[in-house]
């Protein structure tokens, strides 16, 4: 499939579900790949692999395609952000639903997304990105994903549609207290799709968490639990921009790592984190 064809496929309205081998298959379901004989080298490599359904889409000729992300693909996170090369399209007859008690031996249950956000060219606004970089060095249990989104609002919105039980946003957030003060809050989600609420436009060089949450909800994302780990900034830099964190915010990075590690432990243990 060339780039022009891929773009046309992207323009189509996703299909909510599809019946395959007598089972109803939806986004997030897992399937075993059974490519037809005579395919390309990717078909040979993916034969028998377990994958998660990322979407069901209809092309410009009206044919249905099952878009999947392979479980053991080292670059699967890129596919989850809807980037070509790590998303694969198969005909419905080329996938085998894992139903009727079948288990996916390599499947990972999604539980927690830790998303570092912010603009590294605006001084302390890069706090979330720095924390995500430090957390990426940690070894978390299966089901915990750490990602640095920076100002890529569309990528974060797509990630939020992937069914995480808890999402922890890490960002600089002006609030009461001295610069470097950390806090945890649970944003109100009930009005994201309420009548009269404007979704807003996501800026290509900025990331507004509220707008991203609204976009994810409008795309069908089930936003279950959202936490914000925020840090009071000392400065967002001059108009021309500034890289690097201020001293108090830089000192708070490792404390934030410890705080998030504690939150993850409590969430996985079934305890709802206290908020303040």
Q: What is the CATH number of the domain that holds 21?
A: 2.30.30.140
CA 210 and chain centroid, separation = 15
Model confidence at 196: pLDDT above 50: no
Per residue in 43-72, pLDDT tens?
A: 778 888 888 888 888 877 778 888 888 887
Per residue in 213-235, pLDDT tens?
A: 887 777 777 778 889 999 999 99
Q: Which of 81-85, 156-160, 183-187, 264-268 has the lowest mean pLDDT?
A: 81-85
In a shared domain, residues 149 and 79: no
Range of the domain at 84: 9-97
Last residue of a domain, one of 47, 65, 97: 97
Model confidence at 34: pLDDT above 50: yes
Q: What is the CATH number of the domain that holds 124?
A: 3.40.50.1450
Q: Which residues pair with 144 in a beta bridge?
A: 112
Our count of domains for the chain comes to: 2
**Whole-number average pLDDT of the chain:** 79
In a shared domain, residues 78 and 141: no
Percent of all residues in the chain with a pLDDT value above 90, rounded to a whole number = 26
The answer to whether the beta carbons of residues 232 and 177 sit under 8 Å apart is yes
- Give the pair of three-digit tokens for residue 185: 């809050």
Per residue in 89-146, pLDDT tens?
A: 898 999 999 864 444 444 445 589 999 999 999 999 999 999 999 998 888 887 888 9
The more confident residue out of 33 and 201 is: 33
Measured in Å, how far apart are the chain's first and last C-alpha atoms?
A: 50
In a shared domain, residues 80 and 120: no
Question: What's the sign of the alpha-carbon dihedral 62, 63, 64, 65?
Answer: negative
Measured CA angle at 131 (ends 125, 132), to 5 deg: 105
pLDDT band at 27 (very low <50, low <70, confident <90, very high): confident
User: What is d(CA 114, CA 168) in angstroms, rounded to the nearest whole number?
Assistant: 5
Q: Is residue 103 part of a domain?
A: no
Q: Is residue 205 part of a domain?
A: yes
In a shared domain, residues 160 and 231: yes
pTM: 0.61
């Amino acid at each position: 499939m060339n780039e022009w064809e891929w773009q046309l496929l992207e323009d189509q309205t996703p299909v909510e579900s599809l019946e395959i081998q007598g089972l109803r298959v939806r986004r997030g379901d897992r399937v075993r790949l059974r490519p037809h004989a005579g395919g390309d080298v990717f078909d040979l490599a993916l034969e028998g692999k377990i994958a998660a359904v990322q979407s069901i889409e209809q092309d410009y000729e009206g044919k249905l395609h099952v878009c999947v992300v392979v479980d053991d693909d080292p670059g699967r996170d890129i596919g989850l952000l809807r980037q070509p090369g790590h998303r694969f399209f198969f005909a419905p007859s080329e996938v085998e639903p894992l139903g009727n008690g079948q288990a996916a031996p390599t499947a990972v249950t999604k539980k927690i997304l830790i998303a570092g956000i912010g603009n590294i060219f605006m001084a302390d606004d890069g706090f979330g990105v720095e924390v995500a970089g430090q957390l990426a060095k940690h070894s978390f249990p299966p089901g915990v994903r750490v990602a640095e989104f920076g100002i890529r609002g569309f990528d974060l919105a797509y990630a939020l549609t992937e069914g995480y039980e808890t999402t922890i946003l890490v960002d600089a957030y002006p609030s009461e207290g001295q610069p470097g003060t950390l806090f945890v809050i649970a944003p109100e989600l009930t009005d994201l799709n309420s009548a009269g609420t404007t979704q807003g436009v996501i800026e290509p060089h900025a990331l507004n968490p509220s707008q991203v949450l609204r976009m994810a909800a409008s795309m069908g994302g089930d936003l279950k639990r959202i936490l914000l780990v925020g840090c009071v900034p000392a400065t967002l830099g001059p108009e021309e921009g500034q890289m690097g964190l201020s001293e108090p915010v830089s000192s708070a990075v490792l404390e934030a790592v410890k705080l998030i590690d504690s939150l993850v432990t409590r969430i996985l243990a079934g305890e709802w984190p206290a908020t303040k």
